[in-house]
Each structure stands twice: as C-alpha cells, then as structure tokens.
C-alpha cells in the first residue's frame, strides 16, 4: 500500500469543491442565524456513553472508539452531533427553561459507510429546537429544512412524512415486547405485508392487531393516505394524535409535494414522533432527515421536548453553484518588503495579494493586476 493512500470511503476535498462547501456552510449558518438558531461546536470526541452508544445499537456500530490515555476510559469519535447538542441543552444551557434554538455544522466519523457511495466523514449540518412540544415547532424545523436544501440544485423537492407514534401506539396496545417491536420494525422496511402478517400471527395476537400491522406497509402515498389510515386503523387516541399532527404539517405546506409513509420508520432509536425527510427529484436517498425526539435529554439529566433535522453537506457536492477563485494581485518578490504596507491595506479590503517568486503558482490564470510603484505611490496596475 502506498503511504499516501487514504482509507476506503475517505477523501480529500480539493480547492474548487472546498470553496463550494465553505460557501454553502456560510450560507446555511447565515440562514439558521436569521431564524434564531445559535451556533454550537461540540467536541469531536467524548466519553462514548455520552454519545449514546450504550442505548442506540445503530449509533454504536457507527462509532469509532479509542482508549483515553489520560483517564483510561473509553472515548468515542462522534458519529452524530444531535446527542451532543441534547447534552448541551440539558447541562450547559440548563438555566434557560424556555426554548433553545441551536444549530451546528461539523465533521462526524463513521466506522463504516452508511451506503456504497457514502463517505465515512460526513459534514453534518443541522438545527434543533428544545423546549416546545407543539407541532408548530416541527413545522418550523421542516420549513427551515426545506430552505436549507434549496441552497443546492436538487430539482423539485419531495417532503416525506412519517410518524413512529402510529407504530408504537399499535405495539403498546397489542402488548408487544421490546424485542418483538424491533423485529417488526425491521420487517416494515421491506414493505412486505405478508411477512409482517406471518410474523404477528406467529405471536398469536388478536386478529385486529394482525390486520393493523399488516396494513401499515400499504399506507403510503399522497395526502389521501391520512383519511385511509383513519378509516382502517384501530381507533386509538395515540394513533389519532399522530394523524392529527401529520395533517397539520400537510396543511402548513399546501403547495409542497408531499409523500406520506406510515411504515417509513428508519430512524435512530431516540426518535419518538413525527418523522420528516427531503428528497431531490433524482435522489436515491434522502437529502435531509429529521424528526421529534422528546426526552433524549433525560440521559443527560433534563428531559425536554425536542425536534430537529440534519444532513451531510458533502452530499450536496456536484449540485452547488460554482464559486470562482478570487482574483489575484501580484507583487514582485523584490518589491514585497517595500510594499508591505500597501499589501496590508489591500488584504484588509479583501483583495488577495501574493508574492511573485517567478515560478508560477496555483492562481496564475486569475491575475487581475500587479502592485507597482507609480509616481511614488504603490498602485495596482491592471493586466
């Protein structure tokens, strides 16, 4: 193996793409800021238990672990920033019992890529709202998610909605164990109604629950799915509340292309309610995902309602607007010392100035002028 080779699913970001990513990151943070979301920057690594690796099997598999040479305890390199932000809300910002709006944009590391084409070093950006349980908070975050996705060219964006509360209400009413719920959730992902039916029948459940679980994989489509769900699912108050929330979101985005799927339950274990995602017109996977995760802060000592979304900004590569290299003003090597004050003024004004050593450089094709002393004054002479 060559010493310069990188691990699989890890890559350098070169100047042209780096400019695009940094520009997009700046636009995102500006967007979050004008919506009231304050930037936080959690550390890249923490004690692994703080990263929720002990309660979320999927997150645990993603997390790279090392032994801390100072304490001897196990450290984890973050694979998801959301638990860290929940910790910040629960501890460092605990003086505020009202709403905390927080945002972030930083790298995470995955032990394995989530897909064949995915990187192991996503640039995760997102926003979270703590302290308000009403559906209005979810609508606010969905609106912000859709605005965030619009910084790139994904064509017509599809808003996908689900609600894990429907499944959990049925599971609780049917008396399923945690192990049975997990098994059934896995089957739901394949949308195989027959496999789901055979599974619940093997548990000798009442026919009403067998029918309800077998129906879930078929409850997907447009807004009309909600009326079908009300007509065919058991009349449980928790199911009704979940469907009410989905209807409220649909009403808040009347012009948005919406897809509803009551068996789309591919979530981290900490999600508790409404689920939302954005898909591009030619995207094989979600561009951004989010949902409600009430009570996550309880693991850090303060249980709070919470909702938020995140995405990998690197997945926007190839869809971001071109960001040209800044024009360059050259100053000859022999003039650099004498012209240093003039160079400093230009740089303070935002102009890129580089010393010309006479051997070319990686901005040679974008030179706009040369700094020269003309009539006793340092001036930029256009090329």
CA pair distance 168, 108, nearest whole angstrom: 30
Q: At what angle do helices 207-215 and 164-174 cross, to 10 degrees?
A: 160
Residues 6+ apart with CB under 8 A from 79: 51, 59, 62, 63, 64, 108, 109, 110, 111
Is 266 annotated in a binding site? The answer is yes
Structure tokens at 270: 């900490």
Nearest partner of 132 among 121, 122, 141, judged by Cα: 141
CA pair distance 224, 228, nearest whole angstrom: 7
Strands 328-332 and 352-356: parallel
Is 351 annotated in a binding site? The answer is no
Is 256 annotated in a binding site? The answer is no
CB atoms within 10 A of CB 220: 16
Is 323 annotated in a binding site? The answer is no
Is 359 annotated in a binding site? The answer is no
Query: Would you give the end-to-end CA distance of the chain in angstroms?
Result: 46
CA pair distance 20, 190, nearest whole angstrom: 37
CA pair distance 377, 369, nearest whole angstrom: 15
Is 319 annotated in a binding site? The answer is no
Nearest partner of 357 among 382, 332, 321, judged by Cα: 332
CA pair distance 220, 326, nearest whole angstrom: 49
CA pair distance 193, 256, nearest whole angstrom: 29
Binding-site residues for L-histidine: 80-82, 124, 128, 266
Binding-site residues: 80-82, 124, 128, 266
């Amino acid at each position: 193996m060559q010493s310069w080779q990188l691990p699989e699913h890890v890559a350098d970001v070169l100047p042209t793409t780096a400019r695009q990513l940094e520009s997009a990151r700046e636009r995102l943070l500006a967007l979050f800021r004008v919506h009231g979301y304050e930037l936080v920057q959690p550390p890249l690594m923490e004690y692994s238990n703080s990263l929720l690796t002990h309660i979320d099997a999927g997150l645990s598999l993603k997390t790279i672990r090392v032994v801390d040479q100072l304490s001897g305890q196990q450290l984890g390199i973050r694979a998801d920033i959301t638990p860290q932000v929940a910790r910040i809300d629960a501890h460092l910002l605990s003086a505020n019992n009202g709403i905390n709006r927080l945002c972030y944009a930083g790298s995470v590391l995955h032990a394995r890529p989530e897909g064949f084409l995915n990187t192991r070093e996503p640039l995760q950006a997102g926003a979270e709202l703590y302290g308000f349980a009403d559906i209005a908070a979810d609508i606010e975050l969905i609106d912000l998610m859709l605005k965030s996705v619009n910084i790139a060219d994904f064509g017509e964006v599809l808003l996908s909605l689900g609600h894990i509360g429907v499944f959990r209400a049925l599971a609780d009413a049917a008396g399923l164990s945690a192990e049975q719920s997990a098994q059934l959730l896995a089957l739901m992902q394949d949308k195989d109604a027959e496999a789901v039916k055979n599974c619940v029948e093997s548990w000798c459940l009442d026919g009403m629950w067998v029918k309800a679980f077998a129906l879930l994989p078929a409850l997907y489509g447009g807004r009309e799915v909600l009326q079908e769900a009300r007509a065919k699912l058991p009349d449980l108050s928790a199911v009704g509340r979940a469907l009410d929330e989905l209807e409220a979101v649909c009403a808040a985005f009347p012009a948005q292309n919406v897809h509803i799927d009551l068996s789309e339950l591919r979530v981290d274990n900490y999600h508790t309610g409404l689920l939302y995602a954005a898909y591009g017109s030619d995207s094989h996977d979600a561009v951004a995902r989010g949902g409600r995760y009430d009570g996550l802060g309880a693991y850090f000592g303060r249980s709070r309602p919470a909702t938020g979304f995140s995405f990998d900004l690197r997945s926007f590569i190839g869809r971001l607007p071109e960001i040209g290299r800044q024009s360059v003003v050259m100053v000859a090597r022999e003039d650099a010392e004498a012209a240093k004050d003039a160079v400093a003024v230009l740089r303070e004004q935002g102009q890129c100035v580089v010393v010309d050593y006479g051997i070319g450089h990686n901005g040679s094709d974008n030179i706009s002028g040369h700094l020269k002393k003309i009539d006793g004054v340092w001036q930029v002479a256009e090329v």
